A and B are shown apart, each in its own frame.
Chain A
Amino acid sequence: MDNINVLVDTLKEKFSSKISVSDDGQSLVVSSADIFPVLKEIKENTQYNFLADLTAVDYPERMEVVYHLMNIKDAGLIRVKALLDKSDPKIDSVVFLWDTANVMERETYDLLGVIFEGHPDLKRILCPDDFEGHPLRKDYKVEPAVRQ
Chain B
Amino acid sequence: MAISNQESGFRTQEFVLNMGPQHPSTHGVYRAILTMDGEYVVDVENVVGYLHRGMEKIAEDRTYTQFIPYTDRMDYLAGILNNWGFVMTVEKAMGIEVPERAEYIRVITGELQRIASHLVMVASMALDLNGYTPWMYAFYDREKILDLFEMICGSRLTTSFMRVGGVPNDIPEGFIPKLEKFLAELPGRADDFDNVITGNEIFVGRTKGVGVLDAEAALSFGLTGPNLRASGVNFDLRKAQPYSVYDRFDFEVPLGENGDSFDRYNLRMLEIRQSARIIRQALDTIPEGDIMAKVPKVLKVPKGETYCHIEGSKGLLGFYLVSDGGTKPYRLHLHSPSFVNLGAYPKMAKGTVLQDAIASLASIDIVLGEVDR
Query: In the complex, are there CB atoms of A and B closer than 8 Å?
Result: yes
Binding site for B on A (CB under 8 A): 1, 24, 26-27, 49-53, 55, 57-58, 66, 68, 72-77, 79, 98-100, 102-104, 107, 111, 124-128, 135-136, 142
B-side interface residues toward A, CB under 8 Å? 46, 48-49, 52, 54, 56-57, 61, 217, 219-223, 233, 235, 237, 240-241, 304-305, 307, 309, 316, 318, 320, 322, 330-331, 333, 335, 339-340, 342-344, 347, 372-373
Query: Which residues on B sit within 8 Å (CB–CB) of A24?
Result: 304-305
* Nearest-Cβ distance from residue A99 to partner chain B, whole angstroms: 5
Contacts A51-B222, A52-B335, A111-B56 hold; do A104 and B48 have CB atoms under 8 A apart?
no
Q: A52-B309, A104-B340 are in contact. List 14 more A-B contacts (CB 8 A).
A: A1-B307, A50-B219, A53-B333, A53-B335, A57-B322, A66-B333, A98-B221, A98-B222, A99-B343, A100-B222, A100-B223, A103-B46, A103-B343, A126-B49
- Supply 9 A–B pairs (Cβ within 8 Å), ascending by A: A26-B304, A55-B335, A57-B322, A74-B241, A98-B220, A100-B221, A104-B340, A126-B372, A136-B57
A72 near B235: Cβ-Cβ < 8 Å: yes
**In the complex, A139 Cα to B170 Cα: how many Å?**
44
Q: Is the CB of A73 within 8 A of B240?
A: yes
Compute how far the CA of A79 lies from the CA of B320 in the bound complex, rounded to whole angstroms.
11
**Contact among A73, A76, A103, A126 with B342 in the assembled complex (CB-CB below 8 Å):** A103
Q: Which residues of B contact A111 (CB under 8 A)?
A: 56
User: Which listed residue, A26, A98, A103, A107, touches B305 by the CB 8 Å rule?
Assistant: A26
Residues in chain B near residue A102, CB distance under 8 A: 343
- Write the nearest CB–CB distance from B335 to chain A, whole angstroms: 4
Q: Are B220 and A99 touching (Cβ within 8 A)?
A: yes
Which chain B residues lie closer than 8 Å to A128 at the CB level?
Answer: 49
CA distance A27 to B52 in the complex (A): 30
- Pick the 4 closest A-B CB pairs, nearest first: A100-B222, A75-B241, A75-B240, A103-B343
Across-interface contacts of A1 in B (CB, < 8 A):
307
State in angstroms the CA–CA spacing of A99 and B340 once bound together. 10
Given contacts A75-B240, A99-B343, contact A136 B307 (CB under 8 A): no
Chain A residues positioned under 8 Å from B372 (CB to CB): 126
CA distance A107 to B48 in the complex (A): 11
**Which residues on the B side are within 8 Å of A103 (C-beta)?**
46, 339-340, 342-343
Which of B222, B237, B344 makes the CB contact (< 8 A) with A50? B222
**Across the interface, do B305 and A79 meet the contact criterion of CB distance under 8 Å?**
yes
Contact A99 B221 (CB under 8 A): yes
Q: What are the residues of chain A within 8 A of B222 when measuring CB–CB?
A: 50-52, 98-100, 104
Check A72/B233 contact, CB under 8 A, given A125-B49, A127-B49.
Answer: yes
